[in-house]
Structure 1
Amino acid sequence: MSSLIQSPASKKQAILVTSLIILWYSTNIGVLLLNKFLLSSYGFAFPIFLTMCHMSACAVFSYISIVLLKVVPMQRIKSRSQFFRIATLSVVFCGSVVGGNISLKYLPVSFNQAVGSTTPFFTALFAYMMTLKREAWVTYACLVPVVAGVVIASGGEPSFHLYGFVMCIGATAARAFKSVLQGVLLSNEGEKLNSMNLMLYMSPIAVIVLLPAALVMEPNVLEVTILLGIEHKFMWLLLLLNSTLAYGANLCNFLVTKHTSALTLQVLGNAKGAVAVVISILIFRNPVTFIGIAGYTMTVMGVVAYGETKRRYK
């Protein structure tokens, strides 16, 4: 009977973890929906500049969190080679975020999330190519429905756009590549950084890369942004909120990882994608088909099976 009664400390921990998970879901889904709203419904068609705003917020808030508030201990860069590794990760990360934002201009959030669920496929592929790391055959078998589900969902997607689909696949691959690359480049115990410190160093580098890219590839971005700000009084507030949520999503991801486990995070991540799909359909009213839903369900089930087999056979 006593085992069923939680101590005050365990109750507080449960409340803390639950609150963090709700915040993690809210910030992740919030930034995704606001990205879609700004890029396709608000006339703000500048995905590179939007990503730069996100990275600027991450740079400022990371400095405040780590240097001023000391949320986590600051980890110093110890060598020039470590700096170049972090810069490489930053450029790859920029590519993944920009690609994802570009895809949101052309694809509904629901389909964007379906394609994004194939991350484990690309992670396994890059892990094998870069480290020759092999998984059990049953683990690779679970990746078949992951890919097949997206193929089916693509065929049943009424709003399918080839360019948007290519950019979404590219963003998903870049995200997986960054994950594997991070493990390879920062594998030295003395050079490992937690995600908060990594964001502190990656964000300013990303801004430096994205600013000239935005000015060259989106030459009228400043003019149009100012005009939209004059025309829509909430434009600047939406940009600020969106950028703040982008940092909040990274912070919550770190805190949820710290207070739970990698397996819990993986399960919660799969569920988060499904929640984002449902909310986006309710808000944007984008048409969905039975084939599309079936394909996405197959992909999610494949991802869940993949995570379970990795846990069992590692």
Structure 2
Amino acid sequence: MGKGGALSDGVVKNIILSYTYVAIWIFLSFTVIVYNKYILDKKLYNWPFPISLTMIHMAFCSSLAFAAVRLFKLVEPVSLSRRVYLSSVVPIGALYSLSLWLSNSAYIYLSVSFIQMLKALMPVAVYSIGILFKKDGYKTSTMSNMLAISLGVAIAAYGEAKYDSWGVLLQLGAVVFEATRLVMIQILLTSKGINLNPITSLYYVAPSCLAFLAIPWVFVEYPVLRQQSSGFHFDFVIFGTNSLCAFALNLAVFLLVGKTSALTMNVAGVVKDWLLIAFSWSVIKDTVTPLNLFGYGLAFLGVGYYNHSKLLALKAKEAQKNMQSADEEAGKLLDERGGDGKGKKGDSQA
């Protein structure tokens, strides 16, 4: 085969790998969401302790990350001073703990399908908080897009058959804290040149997340668990496999973003949401109304347009960077030719 054939084979291989990463992430994300719902829902496994479940996840992830970094030396730790850790990593751990706590709590009150519809507000929250912290600039067109997404989610909420105000408040809080965490990662870590892979991220963030969760756990869930301790037997299979899925999901996120892009994950997230809505309706037998679907469809179009706009912006930025590189290269060639010409002129005069 010629060069063209080899190039085609490489392109096909990259496409297959990209779809594989997307499929792995969708499968693990889907599994963790449904598994958490199963454990927390009072009608299913009936263990409504979201802080405890999140703490089990963080303890498991911290242990595996510590073993990978310190015991088996599979990953090199990032050099962080105590000041940088306290000022940059700990705030992200606090935001992560609040996001996980509230999002897991929402599964007790809301259906899986409706929670996925509410998560469509994530771009709205990220953009709004980005403006607040001056990481994004205000654009009328983008804000109109955000309002369209918000309108779609509002319609979906209005059409929800089993609407619960407390559950909605919990999920909206989770979206706000998660969006703030994503923006703060850019401000506190990325802007300082600190890049954490999934293992080192869990190694540094998970322990602080666990410590923050312990504070509300002592006052909210520990007294209830202590009373129920005689009637509850810890199922290592259920909680072990659930924690393993959560750990694998963290690795899959890095794999997907690292090998493709964050934009690919956003698009894959939309596919995952539709799959979860279909699963929630057909298997879990959650009620999904036509108004639900209409509202989420509107939000879906808004999110799709937002992702498309980001893709065009990235392409334009990449094209501009390539043009600058080409101009710099041309400038260097001209300088070299000019230098050679002067040298030759000097030689002839001599």
TM-score for both structures, normalised by structure 2: 0.81
TM-superposed CA distance for 1:77, in Å, is 1.5
What is the match of residue 179 of structure 1? 182
2:128 is equivalent to residue 88 of structure 1: no
Gaps of 5+ in 2: 315-350
On the 8 A contact 2:48/2:108 being kept in 1, the answer is: yes
2:119 is equivalent to residue 119 of structure 1: no
What is the match of residue 159 of structure 1? 162
Q: How well do the aligned residues superpose, as a CA RMSD in angstroms?
A: 2.4
Change (3 A) 1:4 1:264: farther
Distance 1:225 1:4 in 2: 65
Change (3 A) 1:135 1:65: farther
CA displacement, residues 2-40 of structure 1 (integer Å, 9 cap, x when unaligned): 756777666655554433322211211111111111111
What is the match of residue 128 of structure 1? 131
Structure 1: which amino acid aligns with 2:239?
Answer: L
What is the match of residue 283 of structure 2? 283
Distance 1:180 1:282 in 2: 36
2:25 is equivalent to residue 21 of structure 1: no
What is the match of residue 263 of structure 1? 263
Identity %: 25
Change (3 A) 1:66 1:223: farther
Distance 2:199 2:47 in 1: 29
On the 8 A contact 1:44/1:225 being kept in 2, the answer is: no
On the 8 A contact 2:51/2:101 being kept in 1, the answer is: yes
What is the match of residue 305 of structure 2? 305
Structure 1: which amino acid aligns with 2:35?
Answer: L
On the 8 A contact 2:38/2:45 being kept in 1, the answer is: yes
On the 8 A contact 2:116/2:277 being kept in 1, the answer is: yes
Distance 2:229 2:112 in 1: 23
CA displacement, residues 157-191 of structure 1 (integer Å, 9 cap, x when unaligned): 00110000000000011110111111111244443
TM-superposed CA distance for 1:70, in Å, is 5.4
TM-superposed CA distance for 1:61, in Å, is 2.2
Change (3 A) 1:8 1:228: farther
What is the match of residue 46 of structure 1? 49
CA displacement, residues 178-227 of structure 1 (integer Å, 9 cap, x when unaligned): 11111111244443434442222110111122224223201222553663
TM-superposed CA distance for 1:112, in Å, is 0.4
Structure 2: which amino acid aligns with 1:83?
Answer: L
SS in structure 2 opposite 1:264?
A: helix
SS in structure 2 opposite 1:227?
A: coil
Distance 2:109 2:201 in 1: 31
Change (3 A) 1:313 1:257: closer
Gaps of 5+ in 1: none
What is the match of residue 241 of structure 2? 241
Q: Which has the higher contact order (CA 8 A, sep 6+)?
A: 1
On the 8 A contact 1:146/1:303 being kept in 2, the answer is: yes
SS in structure 1 opposite 2:77?
A: coil
SS in structure 1 opposite 2:283?
A: helix
What is the match of residue 55 of structure 1? 58
CA displacement, residues 57-112 of structure 1 (integer Å, 9 cap, x when unaligned): 22122223444555554212134133332111101111011110111100000000
Greater shift in the superposed pair: 52-61 or 88-97: 52-61
Distance 2:190 2:212 in 1: 25
Change (3 A) 1:84 1:294: same
What is the match of residue 35 of structure 2? 34
Q: Of the two, which has the highest radius of gyration?
A: 2
What is the match of residue 251 of structure 1? 251
1:74 pairs with one of 66, 69, 77: 77
Distance 1:281 1:69 in 2: 44
SS in structure 2 opposite 1:61?
A: helix
TM-superposed CA distance for 1:278, in Å, is 1.5
TM-superposed CA distance for 1:304, in Å, is 1.2
On the 8 A contact 2:22/2:265 being kept in 1, the answer is: no
Distance 1:206 1:310 in 2: 31
Distance 1:116 1:27 in 2: 17
SS in structure 1 opposite 2:232?
A: helix
